[in-house]
Chains A and B, each alone.
Chain A
Amino acid sequence: MLSLIVFLPIIAGLVILAVPSSQKQIIRIVSLLAALAQGVLAVLIWRQYDPTMAGIVAAPGGSPVGSFQMIERISWISLDLGSFGPLNIEYFLGVDGLSITMVLLTALISIIGVLSSWPIQKQVKGYFILYNLLSTAMMGCFVALDFFLFYVFWELMLLPMYFLIGIWGGPNREYAAIKFFLYTLFGSVFMLLVMIGLYFSVTDPLTGHHTFSLVAMADQANYIKGAILGPDSVTWRYVAFIVLFVGFAIKVPMFPFHTWLPDAHVEAPTPISVILAGVLLKLGTYGMMRINFPLFPEVYQAGLYVIGVFGAINIIYGAFCALAQQDLKKMVAYSSISHMGYVLLGLAAANTEGMIGALYQMFNHGTITAMLFLLVGVIYDRAHSRQIDKFGGLASYMPVYTGIVIVAWFASLGLPGLSGFISEALVFVGAFTAPVTRPIAMVSVLGIVFGAAYLLWSLQRMFLGKRKPDALYDLEVDADGHEHIHFHDWKGKLDLDARELTMLIPLVIIVIALGIYPMPVMGLLTASINKLVQVLAPVAMSAVH
Chain B
Amino acid sequence: MFEMPSGAEIQSIISTLKGGAGYFIPEIYLSVLFMVLILLDLVTGKKNRGLLATATIAGLLGSVYFIFKQQTMPDVQFFFGMYALDRFGIFFKYFFVASGILAVLTTMVDDQLKKHESGMGEYYALLVAMVVGMMMMASSTDLLMMFLAMELVSLSAYAMTGYLKREPRSSEAALKYLVYGAVSSGMLLYGFSLIYGMTAETNITRISMVLAAHGYDPLVMILTVLLIMAGLGYKMGAVPFHFWSPDVYEGAPTPVTAYLSVASKAAGFAMLMRFFFVAVPHGFDMYVSPLHIDWLSILMLVSAASMIYGNVVAIWQKNVKRLLAYSSIAHAGYLLLGIITMDQLGTQAVLVYLAAYLLMNYGAFYVVILIANHTGSENLDDYKGLGKRMPLLGAALTVFLISLVGLPPTFGFIGKLMIFSALLAKGSLFMWLALIGILTSVISLYYYMLIPLNMYLRESNTPEEGVITTGMGAKIVTASLMILTLWFGLFFQPIANYAKYSTAIFGAFLN
Using a CB–CB cutoff of 8 Å, the interface residues on chain A facing chain B are 76-84, 87, 123, 126, 151-152, 155-156, 158-159, 162-163, 166-167, 173-174, 177-178, 181-182, 185-186, 189-190, 192-193, 196-197, 199-200, 227-228, 233, 236
Contacts and interface: CB of A to CB of B under 8 A. Distances in A.
- Among B388, B424, B438, the one with the most A-chain Cβ atoms within 10 Å of its Cβ is B424
B457 interface: yes
Given A79-B493, A82-B345, A182-B445, A193 B407 contact: no
B21 to A, nearest CB: 34
Contact of B417 (A82, A123, A192): A192
Interface in B415-446: 416-417, 420-421, 424-425, 427-428, 434-435, 438-439, 441-442, 445-446
Contact of B449 (A83, A178, A186): A178
Nearest to B446: A182
Given A166-B453, A173-B457, A178-B453, A185 B492 contact: no
B343 interface: yes
Contacts of A227: 427
A82 B452 CA distance: 39
Contacts of B493: 77-79
B265 interface: no
A216 B420 CA distance: 22
A300 B416 CA distance: 29
B491 to A, nearest CB: 7
A185 B345 contact: no
B491 A167 contact: no
Contacts of A123: 388
A228 B428 contact: yes
Interface of B: 343-345, 348, 388, 391, 398, 402, 407-409, 413, 416-417, 420-421, 424-425, 427-428, 434-435, 438-439, 441-442, 445-446, 449, 452-453, 456-458, 491-493, 496-497, 500
A200 B453 CA distance: 37
Contacts of A77: 491-493, 496
Contact of A166 (B408, B456, B491): B456
Contacts of B453: 166, 174, 178
Given A81-B344, A156-B409, A182-B445, 20 more contacts: A79-B493, A80-B497, A81-B345, A82-B344, A82-B345, A82-B500, A83-B343, A87-B496, A155-B413, A163-B452, A173-B457, A178-B449, A185-B442, A190-B438, A192-B438, A193-B438, A196-B420, A200-B424, A227-B427, A228-B424
A510 B163 CA distance: 70
Contacts of A199: 421
Given A174-B457, A189-B438, A193-B420, A79 B343 contact: no
15 contacts: A77-B491, A78-B493, A80-B500, A162-B449, A174-B453, A185-B442, A186-B442, A189-B439, A189-B441, A190-B438, A193-B424, A196-B417, A197-B424, A233-B428, A236-B428
A142 B348 CA distance: 33
B428 A84 contact: no
Contacts of A162: 449
Contacts of B452: 163
A10 B143 CA distance: 54
Q: Is chain B's binding surface mostly helix, strand, loop or mixed? A: helix
B287 to A, nearest CB: 15
Main secondary structure of the interface of A (DSSP, over half): helix
Contact of A84 (B425, B442, B496): B425
B500 A178 contact: no
A419 B404 CA distance: 45
Contacts of B492: 77
B417 A166 contact: no
B449 A181 contact: yes
A341 B439 CA distance: 28
Nearest to B507: A82
Nearest to A233: B428
Contact of A192 (B398, B402, B420, B449): B420
A78 B496 CA distance: 10
Contacts of B407: 155, 158-159, 185
Contacts of B428: 228, 233, 236
A208 B34 CA distance: 53
Nearest to B443: A182
A348 B467 CA distance: 55
Contacts of B442: 182, 185-186, 189
Contacts of B348: 81-82
A259 B416 CA distance: 29
Contact of B457 (A155, A156, A177, A233): A177
A177 B452 CA distance: 12
A237 B63 CA distance: 52
A25 to B, nearest CB: 20
B345 A84 contact: yes
A193 B433 CA distance: 12
A143 B430 CA distance: 33
A79 B422 CA distance: 14
A166 B492 CA distance: 32
Given A83-B343, A200-B425, A152 B408 contact: yes
The 10 closest A-B pairs by CB, nearest first: A152-B408, A166-B457, A82-B344, A196-B424, A189-B438, A155-B408, A228-B427, A155-B407, A196-B421, A79-B496
Contacts of A87: 421, 496
A280 B68 CA distance: 49
A197 B429 CA distance: 12
Nearest to A169: B457
Most chain A CB inside 10 Å of its own CB: which residue of B343, B348, B408? B408
Contacts of B500: 79-82
A199 B421 CA distance: 9
A449 to B, nearest CB: 40
Contacts of A185: 407, 442, 445
Contacts of B491: 76-77
Nearest to B391: A126
Contacts of A181: 445, 449
Contacts of A174: 453, 457-458
A159 B449 CA distance: 10
B399 to A, nearest CB: 9
Contacts of B496: 77, 79, 87
B196 to A, nearest CB: 34
B457 A159 contact: no
B419 to A, nearest CB: 10
A167 B497 CA distance: 40
A139 to B, nearest CB: 15
A81 B343 CA distance: 11
Contacts of A126: 391
A119 B449 CA distance: 28
Nearest to A129: B395
Contacts of A193: 420, 424, 434-435, 438
A23 B492 CA distance: 37
A181 B457 CA distance: 14
A76 B492 CA distance: 10
Contacts of B438: 189-190, 192-193
A151 B409 CA distance: 10
B63 to A, nearest CB: 29
A273 to B, nearest CB: 18
Contacts of A163: 452, 456
B284 to A, nearest CB: 14
A445 B64 CA distance: 72
A236 B343 CA distance: 23
A200 B456 CA distance: 40
A216 to B, nearest CB: 18
Contacts of A79: 493, 496-497, 500
A81 to B, nearest CB: 6
Nearest to B497: A79
